[in-house]
Amino acid sequence: MIPFSILDLAPITEDADAVKALANTVDLARRADELGYRRYWLAEHHNMPGIASAATAVVIGQVAAHTRTIRVGAGGIMLPNHSPLVIAEQFGTLDAFFPGRIDLGLGRAPGTDQTTARALRRDSASHPDRFPDDVAEILALFDPPEPGQAVRAIPGAGRKVPVWILGSSLFGAQLAAALGLPYAFASHFAPGELMRALEHYRRHFRPSRFLDRPYAMAGFNAYVAQTDAEARFHASSMEQAFVALRQGRPGPIPAPIEGYRQRLGRLERSVVEQTMACSAIGSVDTVKAEIGAFVERAGVDELMVTNSSFDHAARVRSFELLAEVREQLDGPARE
């Protein structure tokens, strides 16, 4: 079966703060390492009351320091917010501390609202349309330096940090295919273009010095518990958060509500169903069947699973049960 990995948004719950959220991230990462997950990625968001991973490279360093073998990375760094040189230096440094364990996923959105994006202090040249050029610059900065090269990433130059292209539309698929890079689709919150993007990526992929064949990963929500009802209860926190975000009122992760979907109006229920279309919620048997069907349909090489339960113990337990799902699915894990 394909490898399972974890995307952590370092969720801040209504009853806690960012300090507790980051402690929970380290705790979950340690358990994920023990359970044999392939990667543990953090995502860059800014001015989001429910997400504590804004300083993504810093959090990655802490997670890597508290784990042993799991790959740790960004899913992703929002490149319009940064100079390519700064990112190459940061991830070159991380790779120097944790050689062979660091991944760099790159996205072209700011990961925030426009007012906050301006507060991040990038000049007018920093625009999503520059994303392909910025990616090419980062790749060049990771290459061994050329004689007479005026600007080098130190650390960074000559480090073999794998670069991924992230996206929720055809744009990222097109760029990843053209550059011959691995591709991760954000189907855990924007599933609409998943199949079209994967088809384009595979069809137009150009073998490169990075990959000789396409390698695609999909984001996926998974809430696993002893019973389907218990899993639906815990998933209601993320469902509430998606509705609040769509209504322009983002906040901390709320406490779960019994029977939440049944209480929703037609419009709110449509938001939840569309946003969480790539999800498995239920017992081990239920989730095994749903993940198996999704993997068969999408044909992805790796699954990047996320879970933002209000109860940290329930979140950890969900990933423990998901590891059982992985073991029960047929076939050896791919390397």
10-32 pLDDT tens trace = 999 999 999 999 999 999 999 99
So what's the pLDDT on residue 330? 63
User: At which residue do the structure tokens 């709320």 appear?
Assistant: 254
Q: In terms of domains, do 3 and 152 share one?
A: yes
72-83 pLDDT tens trace = 999 999 999 999
Q: In terms of domains, do 125 and 245 share one?
A: no
| CA separation for the pair 116, 112 (Å, rounded) | 6
So what's the pLDDT on residue 123? 61
So what's the pLDDT on residue 125? 54
198 within 8 A of 174, measured Cβ to Cβ: no
* Kind plus residue range of the DSSP H or E element containing 249: none
Q: In terms of domains, do 136 and 244 share one?
A: no
Of 144, 161, 178, the residue at which a domain comes to its end is 161
In a domain, 38, yes or no: yes
Q: In terms of domains, do 156 and 228 share one?
A: no
What stretches in the chain show pLDDT beneath 70? 111, 121-128, 330-335
DSSP state of 185: E
So what's the pLDDT on residue 111? 66
In a domain, 34, yes or no: yes
- Collapse the DSSP code of 42 into the 3-class scheme (helix H, G, I; strand E, B; otherwise coil) and give the result: strand
Of 161, 185, 204, the residue at which a domain comes to its end is 161
What Å distances lie between residue 124 and 73, 128, 130, 282, CA to CA? 28, 11, 11, 47
Q: In terms of domains, do 153 and 245 share one?
A: no
Q: In terms of domains, do 153 and 227 share one?
A: no
In a domain, 291, yes or no: yes
So what's the pLDDT on residue 114? 75
Q: In terms of domains, do 33 and 130 share one?
A: yes
Q: What is the DSSP string of 312-333?
A: HHHHHHHHHHHHHHHHHSSSPP
Q: In terms of domains, do 48 and 148 share one?
A: yes
In a domain, 54, yes or no: yes
Structure tokens at 324: 């059982």
Q: In terms of domains, do 239 and 135 share one?
A: no
The whole domain housing 247 covers 222-301+309-335
Q: Is beta strand 279-282 parallel, antiparallel or unpaired with respect to 183-185?
A: unpaired
Q: How many domains does the chain have?
A: 2
Q: In terms of domains, do 121 and 40 share one?
A: yes
- Collapse the DSSP code of 76 into the 3-class scheme (helix H, G, I; strand E, B; otherwise coil) and give the result: strand
Q: In terms of domains, do 17 and 129 share one?
A: yes
Structure tokens at 292: 């198996």
In a domain, 193, yes or no: no
pTM of the model: 0.94
User: At which residue do the structure tokens 């999503």 appear?
Assistant: 128
Output helix, strand, coil percentages for the chain, rounded to the nearest 5: 45, 15, 40
> Which CATH number does the domain housing residue 5 bear?
3.20.20.30
In a domain, 80, yes or no: yes
Q: In terms of domains, do 5 and 119 share one?
A: yes
In a domain, 52, yes or no: yes
133-187 pLDDT tens trace = 999 999 999 999 999 899 999 999 999 999 999 999 999 999 999 999 999 999 9
